[in-house]
């Protein structure tokens, strides 16, 4: 039988995903050790895994070099690739939001021109377009909270988990954009060509989730 290949977003999501698969009896000893390998095979030989930067997961899945990807909804929205989003894994929950100093709320609602710093320019663009807000989007690659503090931007668009980082820097959530969590995405061709294998796996994950929630 053909193998099913997973692309996992490096870090916490990958760890969570492997825990989930373990509960379904899919284990991968290779991955647990301190190895420099990039591609791993499950102990039963049926699955392959590789870790990649989160924003690359949809790319690997779009091209079909990975059949399934496990990645955050934020990345899916930002990368906007042609892939099936089939399952909400319900971990890594957080939200995409507009944040800034509390006094910015008025400016944000006024519809006046604002500057937005973000790691997610596509998400920010489509959000402000919905409200016909004129904005200047400034793409940053990390510590976006700095933007309003040092005066680079009026507000930021970023992931908010506990809100702690915001709070420590005197920022608050000004508007929610979208709830986020880890999702399972599938290549459009794999969904057909490897339908039975993928469908079974997804069903098993869903059943497991349901049992856990019950």
Give the SS3 label for residue 91.
coil
**Residue 47 or 183: which CB sits closer to other proteins?**
183
Of 7, 26, 116, 183, which lies in the binding site for other proteins, with binding defined by CB under 8 A?
A: 183
Of 32, 37, 129, 189, which lies in the binding site for other proteins, with binding defined by CB under 8 A?
A: 189
By CB under 8 A, tell whether 160 contacts other proteins.
no
Cβ-based neighbours of 3, under 8 Å, separated by 6 or more: 41, 45, 46, 47, 48
Cβ-based neighbours of 193, under 8 Å, separated by 6 or more: none
Piece in contact with other proteins (CB under 8 A), picked from 4-12, 19-27, 103-111, 193-201: 193-201
Q: How far is the CB of 5 from other proteins (least distance, A)?
A: 11
Joined tokens for residue 167: 């709070």
Given a contact cutoff of 8 angstroms between Cβ atoms, the answer to whether 14 and 20 are in contact is no
Residue window 38-77: x/- pattern of binding to other proteins, with contact defined by CB under 8 A: ---------------------x--xxxx------------
By CB under 8 A, tell whether 121 contacts other proteins.
no
Give the C-alpha separation, 116 to 137, whole Å.
5
Joined tokens for residue 127: 């959000």
Residue ranges that bind other proteins, judged by CB under 8 A? 2, 59, 62-65, 80-88, 183, 187-193, 195, 199, 202
């Amino acid at each position: 039988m053909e193998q099913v290949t997973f692309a996992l977003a490096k870090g916490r999501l990958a760890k969570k995903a492997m825990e989930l698969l373990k509960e379904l009896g899919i284990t991968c000893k290779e991955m647990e050790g301190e190895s420099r390998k990039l591609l791993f095979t499950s102990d039963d030989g049926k699955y392959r895994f590789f870790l990649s930067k989160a924003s690359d997961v949809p790319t690997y899945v779009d091209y079909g070099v990975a059949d399934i990807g496990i990645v955050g909804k934020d990345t899916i929205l930002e990368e906007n690739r042609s892939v099936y989003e089939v399952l909400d894994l319900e971990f890594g929950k957080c939200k995409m939001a507009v944040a800034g100093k509390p006094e910015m709320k008025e400016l944000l609602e006024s519809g006046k021109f604002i500057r937005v710093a973000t790691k997610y320019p596509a998400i920010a663009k489509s959000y402000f377009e919905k409200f016909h807000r004129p904005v200047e989007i400034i793409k940053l690659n990390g510590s976006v909270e700095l933007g309003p503090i040092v005066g680079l931007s009026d507000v930021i668009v970023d992931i908010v988990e506990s809100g702690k980082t915001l709070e420590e820097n005197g920022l608050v959530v000004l508007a929610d954009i979208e709830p986020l969590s880890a999702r399972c995405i599938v290549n459009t061709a794999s969904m057909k060509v490897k339908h039975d294998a993928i469908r079974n796996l997804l069903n098993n994950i869903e059943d497991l989730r349901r049992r856990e929630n019950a």
